[in-house]
Every structure is written in C-alpha cells, then in structure tokens.
Structure 1
C-alpha cells in the first residue's frame, strides 16, 4: 500500500488545481536535467566518435528526433503527475523521470549499429538497423503493458526493488564513483556540495540549487586549472571553438524510408530486441514500484504504453534509441521535485537538441562535475530497496543484487581484453580461473541480469516467508526463461543453457516438496550468526 493510500485526503482538497511549479522543482530540474545532459553528451559522443556518423546525421537527424521524443515523454509524465495530484488532493506528487534508456543506448550502439556499420562500411546502414531495433522494441512495450500489472501483483516488492538496486549499484553508481576519484579535486568537491545539500539539508545562498552550484564550481576548477597548466577535467579553448560550428536550428524530419531499409537486418536485430523488450517491461515495473514506495501510484499499463508510443514516434523521425521511465523517482522527489521539473526538462532538451547546443556543452562542462549527481541517485535507489521492504527480506535483496555485479564485472573484463586485442574465450577459462577470475560463472550469472535478479529475489522472499509453493513457481518460471535464453544466456534460442534450466527445475521440485512434506520452524527470525541470541518465539 502506498503512502498516499494510507493518508486520508480531505474532500475539500480532492479535485483541486495542482501547482505546476514549486521551489523544489528548481533542484530537481538541475539534478534531473544534468542527468539527461550527461546521457545526451555520451550519446552524442558514441554517434560521433564510435560510430563515425556524419555530422549532418548526428545533428541534423538523430538529435532533433531524440529531442522530440524526450519532450513528448516528459510532458506526458508531467500530465500524469498533474492528474494524480488533482485526483488525490496532494501537493507532494512527483512526476516519473524518463529519457533515453542508458543500457539500451550501449546495446544498440555496440551490438547492432557498430557491427553493421563496420561490416558494410556505411554508418548510415548501422543507423537504419538501429531504427528497426527500436521499431520492434516499441511494439513489445505496448503489448507488454497489458501483461506487466499482473506480473507486478505476483512479484514481491523486495524482488522488484532488489534487482533495481543491482542496476543502481553496478551501472549507475560505480562509473561516476570512479570518475570522481580519477579527478578528485573536482569530483570530491562537487560530491561534498551535493551531499551537504541533498542529504544534510544545507541551504545555499539565495536558494541556488545544489546541482547548479556543483556544476559551476566544477567548471571554475576545470577552467581555472588551465591557467596553471594542471588541466583538470580536460577542458580546452580549441575544443570549445570547434564545437561552435554545430550551432544551427534543425527540426526532426520523417525517416520512415530509413526504417524500412533497415529491415534487411531483421534476423540479427530480433536476437536482442526480444530479450531487451522483456528487460524493458521488468525495468519499468521496477521503477513504477519504486515510485509507489515513495508515495506516488502510477498505472503500469499506461506507463509502458506511453514508453512504446513515444519510442515509436521517435523511431519514425530518426531516433535509434528507446525511451524508458528512469530509475530515480524517489531521489528527485526527496529534493523537492513535483510536476514542473519534468516538463521543464523536456523543453530544455528540445532547445539543446534542435539548436546544436549539445556540442558546445560537451566542450564546456567537465563530466566529472556532473558525476556526483548520478552517484547520489544510485545511493538513494540502492538504499530504497532496504528501507521500504521488511527487514527480514534483506538477504533476498542482496541475492537480487548479485547478477548485476556479475554482469558489470564481465563487461569490465570484456572491454579490457578487447583493448588488448583478445578475449576471455581466446585466453581460455583455465588461465583466467587460475588467477581467480571465474569468467564462465560471470557470463552465466550475468546473462539477463535484471530477470535473474527478479527471479532469485522472489525465490528468496518466498522462502523467508515460508511460502514454498510460490517460491517453486518462480523457480519453474526461471527454468522456462533460462531454457529459451532470456536468462543466463547471451541470446534467445532453444536450450541455450540447458544445465542451468535443469537446475532451476530441480530447485522447483525441491521447494514444492518442502511445501508438501517438510517440517518448518515456526520462529519468524532468520538463523543468526554464532554467538547471537535469538528472540524467543511468541
């Protein structure tokens, strides 16, 4: 039950006209806006420097379409928040954050667009394949929106939030943390500014948002260090001057012909489109659950359908990146975000994308000044899984974290070996195992991590609750998903990892046997460490 459902609402306040903008929206705008800015800067860098996409495609076609899609998304979620505030009479309703799906951004770049662009010698064909990938993802989201609410009802909150915490710790928190300590003069200073305000309640002069102060201080240190030849943050006047060449005004144009040209790569695309469509469903459910835990209840079907529709519109206008509800709603809400921050972010994105400002910002702001904001969000979401679920479910949350740590570690190993011109399989599992790197275990456990975390977390919760039949059902679901490659595998297929699938079947049988025949201890507390004193059973 959400906080809004537990708190009685005065009939006089129900149906009121909600405020579109509050003081707290400034904090959330600069926090969420800088998060979006970082993602757009990374996206632009991938298009320019990895995919070698022509500037006329990057700044004339893709970024304008990205801007349109993100404006539609943020405006819609601001409208949903306005409706919820009006219906409940509450003033603390916070809009769901949304934008480019970051995991998908890397997957479509490195798994679809880069290989096809490299094999054909034409990055435009890679772009067209990316458009088809999003085309299919959009329909998976729209159809899945009608299934997701049922999945959400039968899945424990600890499993949903636990796997979300895994994404938060591994893929949101770690990179910003490394960036902070790579350039600590900027990173740690900006982190202190953020933590003092958003955790410590410190108010800065004239109510200036902490996110804006952190960015300003980071820029001052970065550019000021150039005067002394230190070069913190990698800023240079040459890069800034060259970026101005991309100024201009570009609006999105239909790219339907490019979408259909990309259908010749359909076989390659579906291998990742289907499992990542399921990833989207689970991720969106997790993030809606996260928002409800923070007091704001949004209908899962409308959220997923909206993501699918705006992604499809973006795709048909030339955007090869899918839209998603973001992790982080409790973070923006805790810093005062309500309705206006979402809509204002959408307007800002349109201006950035349609006017060619992204390239200038890429050369003006040190990314390390923005990293503490992302780390803060990661900290908050990781903590929420433990704070909003029963304390006895904590072991299940930790279990749900582990697949994401495996996926993160595998990614680091793969990227490191690729730079060296080799791979884990070329080196051999025995050599890696001899130095403590159990690569095959990382590969199996990290495949489809978000689903693996959800299934393992749910099994853990139901075992703790002595609901062994429910636990057996999730183990059986894990067996089916694994057999077809949605979990513990790198691709969709038949009998992708049959040994793991069989293991889940054995676990399901064992748990079902526990439900029917096992004698169960009636003490609610989990077994304690040696030397501890358990409370007597009541």
Structure 2
C-alpha cells in the first residue's frame, strides 16, 4: 500500500483487541469500586458519579492520541500493519491507590470527625491531586527517562513493584477471592487455565471475557438458589445519570493531603515512566518505531487530564502491544476502546456494568496480574539479581502487617509508655519496627534491591551511594517515617521514642554505607564468577 493511499479505520483484528483492552480496563475499574465500597464502606455515589467519569475520560484522551500516533506512523512508513500502542488504567498503581491511599484516607477523614459524605469528597479531591502530582512527575521525567533507567538498575525498578504485586495485589485480593470460595476459586482457576496454561475454550471468545461472564453467572446463580457464600445479596444499583467530566479545582484542595502519600505516589509515577520506556522498546522490536518521548508525553498528558477532570487512577501504555499486533489489531481497537470507556463513563454505562461485577469475580484477575508482574520481574532482570529482588519484597510484607494489625499509630507519642513497657532487652519494640519499615515501603524496596544488586556486581561504592540516599530519605521520613500516618517531617521536630527510632534507622544506613566504602578499597572485593 502506498504512503498516500487512504487507510481503513477498522480491520477484523481490531475487534479482538477491543475486547481484550476493554476487559482490562473494566476489571481495574471494577476492583477500585469493589475495594472502596466493599472493603472501606465508601459511598457508591461518589465512586460512580464523581471518580469514574474523569478516570474514564483520561482513557479516552490517551487512546485518541495513541490512535492518531499509529495512523501518522502508518502514513509516514507506508505500511498498513502498524498497531497502535494500547493505553489503559495501570493495574498495580490503580489497585495501590484504592488499597493504600484512597481507602485509608477515607477512614482517616472519618476518624477526624467528618461525616461520610464529606470524608468521601475530601478523599476524591486527594485522588485528583495524586493524579496531578504523578502526571507532573511523569511529564518532567519524560525528558529524562533514559537517565532514570541508567541510575536505578532494572532489579530495583521492577523488584519494588513486584513486591507490591505479590504481597499486596496478590495476597489481599486472594483473601477476597476466597471469601466466596466456590465462585472465586473456580474463576481464578479458569483464568490460570486460559492465561497461563494457554488452554483452549469451546467458544471463540477472549478467555478473560469468558471467565468474567462465567464467574458472574455462577455467583448470582448460586445466590439465587441459596447456595452462595454467607452474606450474599443482590447489588443495590446506584441511579446513574450523564456526568460530564468538566475540569475543576478540587485537586487544589487535595494537594496538601498528598504530602504523607508522596513516598507512594512518586514511585508510582516513576515506574510508569520506566514502563513507558520498556513498552516503547517492545513495540519497536515488534516493528512499530514509536518515539519514546512521544509515548511518555501522551501518557503524562492523559493522566493530568484525568486528574483535573476528577479521575483517581493513572493511565499507562500497556506492555502487550506485540500481543495485540499478533491478534491482527491495528489502530481501530484503541479508538473503539477509548470511545467505549470514555463515553461509557460519561453516560453511566461503565458504572452500570461495574456495579454487577462481584468482588469474588474481580479479585481473581488481580491475583493473576500480581503473579504475572512478579514473574515478569524475574524474567526481565539478570538471574544474579534474583536474591536482591526477593530481599526487596520484605518492606511490602511489613506494610501489609501494619494494615492488618490496624495499628498505624503505634509509634505516636501517646503510645510511648505502652511501647516502652514492651521492651524485651533485644532492641526496639517489634510493632514499632514493623510500622517504621512499612512506611515508604516502595522506595525502601527500590533502595535495598539496588544496593544489593550493586554489591553483586562488585560496585560497592555505588551500593554505598544508594544507602546514603536511604539515610537522607529516612532523615525526613520519606522512608521509615515515624509519624503515625507515615508523613514526612523535619528531623529536629521529633521527640522521645520517635526520635530514637528515626536515628536508629538513619544510623543503620550510614553504618552499612561506611562499611561498604571501606571494603571497596580491597583489590577485587567481589570476585568475578567462574566462566560457564
């Protein structure tokens, strides 16, 4: 086909791509709703009529840009097999926003005396502001993405999110899956069959779509027969209406509230930049040479648009561009997905669909995503760094324990006497250590993994530099915060046991950094591995 010949907007493969991309986005929206409403008791009306329209609008904007980029590349190259970059809601950070930012913030606002509706609106504004913060970060880093990937090893970048995936995205949704064991476990098994075992189904439909439909029918069928899990009830549908995601200044009100969550938000944004670089390389290897900076800028712009318009989950280009290419998809599938999700969010269609997807059916796909992210992290990093990555999982475990104990304030001043009475002669109080280790866990994981990977490579001074960075971040509570809610602070403002814990952690980083610097003066401190 010549470069000047008109190109079709849709081909047969675009339908397969559309189903796959829409299901991905609906599953993430569904889990956000299920987590906020089902786990934290968030008002459904705020989720469906305030959060979702702006979130879906970001997906529309991003997919329209990527569709235009694909058609421009096709025209420039004279090829008719160019596949658009798929864009949607990022699973790890969207789930992280629901479980680690929005849900806990809603509970905290209620504890401060706000009524449910006021707490929900304040949380919504926090979500908007969080997206704006991540969007600005992604915009800035779009011009320095390669430098970021040179500074932090792949093990540090992928290992930190793999820890979140396995411990928080894997375990917590698995618990929700097994709260309705028959439906949840069967749905999870079917997903593993079609996605991991690559098993065949008797119908020619996308496997994830079939699993969703099968699980939903099973859930409501068992419930209608009285055989559902205890507590089964039919959904109380929220009356839906057309909601236009007009830009508003709610994010300005939420900006001050983002400060305690910066140790989560900044790594979330950073990982999306690195992910954008990786997917651009993946698409280039598949034959579609997109400019990396354009991919990153489009991603940052769609996230900013979503945040300003009321969204609470950031967009990202998906890693599966070659898979969509193999399906025969071109540029029509991203256009269809953007229109369906974006207009569906405005018209209430998406919210209507999501309301009928039970948590026992949504949670299994999140478990699968967690397994896939963890597996990819090991496959995409050198095998010699595997132990470093596993070491980086441990701060995520600490954060999960802090969530489950329900004691994020254990190191608050009012608990000083209780904590001191818990001293057993072996050091700091155990629960205080768990909370401190869990605060800023993603950045902690990135530093730990990067430092150990540098040790493995024999670059001890580089490892010491990572540890010194950890000490600096600990100094202000960006990691290992001793603030009851994990917030940042000025070190001289700390008193009592909080000051003691903070300086103990800072000293630990400084001590190990000094030791590694001394060891670096040896000749060949880490011997080269024997030839294979």
TM-score between the two structures when normalised by the length of structure 2: 0.78
Partner of residue 514, structure 1: 519
Which one of 90, 93, 98 corresponds to residue 89 of structure 2? 98
Distance change (3 Å), C-alpha of 1:513 and 1:333: farther
- The answer on 1:220 being equivalent to 2:217 is yes
- The answer on 1:246 being equivalent to 2:239 is yes
Return the alpha-carbon distance in structure 1 between the equivalents of residues 166 and 368 of structure 2: 11
- The answer on 1:179 being equivalent to 2:176 is yes
Give 1:145 deviation, angstroms. Answer: 3.6
* Residue pairs, 1:342-353, within 5 angstroms: 342-353=334-345
Return the alpha-carbon distance in structure 1 between the equivalents of residues 404 and 329 of structure 2: 37
Which one of 232, 254, 272 corresponds to residue 260 of structure 2? 272
Distance change (3 Å), C-alpha of 1:301 and 1:330: closer
Gapped regions of structure 1 (runs ≥ 5): 1-11, 526-536
* Residue pairs, 1:146-157, within 5 angstroms: 146-157=143-154
Please say if residues 460 and 516 of structure 2, whose CA atoms lie closer than 8 Å, have aligned partners that are also in contact: yes
Partner of residue 385, structure 1: 377
Return the alpha-carbon distance in structure 1 between the equivalents of residues 143 and 369 of structure 2: 29
Give 1:481 deviation, angstroms. Answer: 1.9
Partner of residue 466, structure 2: 474
Which one of 489, 493, 497 corresponds to residue 489 of structure 2? 493
Partner of residue 389, structure 2: 397
Return the alpha-carbon distance in structure 2 between the equivalents of residues 183 and 335 of structure 1: 36
Return the alpha-carbon distance in structure 1 between the equivalents of residues 420 and 292 of structure 2: 43
Partner of residue 6, structure 1: none
Distance change (3 Å), C-alpha of 1:127 and 1:187: closer
Give 1:464 deviation, angstroms. Answer: 0.9
* Residue pairs, 1:109-128, within 5 angstroms: 109-110=102-103, 112=105, 115-116=108-109, 119-121=113-115, 122-123=118-119, 124=121, 127-128=124-125
Gapped regions of structure 2 (runs ≥ 5): 495-501
Which one of 437, 446, 449 corresponds to residue 438 of structure 2? 446
Return the alpha-carbon distance in structure 1 between the equivalents of residues 408 and 260 of structure 2: 23
Secondary structure, in 3 states, of the residue corresponding to 1:325? strand
Give 1:519 deviation, angstroms. Answer: 5.2
> Over the residues paired in the alignment, what is the CA RMSD in angstroms?
4.2
- The answer on 1:456 being equivalent to 2:444 is no
Secondary structure, in 3 states, of the residue corresponding to 2:521? helix
- The answer on 1:42 being equivalent to 2:34 is yes
Which deviates more, 424-433 or 459-468?
A: 424-433
Which one of 190, 207, 210 corresponds to residue 210 of structure 1? 207
Give 1:214 deviation, angstroms. Answer: 1.1
Aligned residues: 497
Please say if residues 94 and 338 of structure 1, whose CA atoms lie closer than 8 Å, have aligned partners that are also in contact: no
Secondary structure, in 3 states, of the residue corresponding to 1:246? coil
Please say if residues 161 and 385 of structure 1, whose CA atoms lie closer than 8 Å, have aligned partners that are also in contact: yes
Which deviates more, 127-136 or 327-336?
A: 327-336
Return the alpha-carbon distance in structure 1 between the equivalents of residues 228 and 322 of structure 2: 32
Distance change (3 Å), C-alpha of 1:377 and 1:512: same
Which one of 365, 368, 374 corresponds to residue 373 of structure 1? 365
Return the alpha-carbon distance in structure 1 between the equivalents of residues 77 and 489 of structure 2: 46
- The Cα offsets for residues 235-284 of structure 1, whole Å up to 9 and x where unpaired, read as 545x3xx41x613322223323x455x2xx76x42523543442233322
Partner of residue 504, structure 1: 509
Which deviates more, 227-236 or 153-162?
A: 227-236
Secondary structure, in 3 states, of the residue corresponding to 1:231? coil
Return the alpha-carbon distance in structure 2 between the equivalents of residues 224 and 187 of structure 1: 14
Which deviates more, 214-223 or 347-356?
A: 347-356
Please say if residues 137 and 273 of structure 1, whose CA atoms lie closer than 8 Å, have aligned partners that are also in contact: no
Which one of 154, 160, 181 corresponds to residue 157 of structure 2? 160
Please say if residues 424 and 439 of structure 1, whose CA atoms lie closer than 8 Å, have aligned partners that are also in contact: no
Give 1:463 deviation, angstroms. Answer: 0.9
Distance change (3 Å), C-alpha of 1:430 and 1:136: same
* Residue pairs, 1:228-307, within 5 angstroms: 228-232=225-229, 236-237=233-234, 239=235, 242-243=236-237, 246-256=239-249, 258-259=250-251, 262=253, 268-272=256-260, 274-288=262-276, 291=279, 302=294, 305-307=297-299
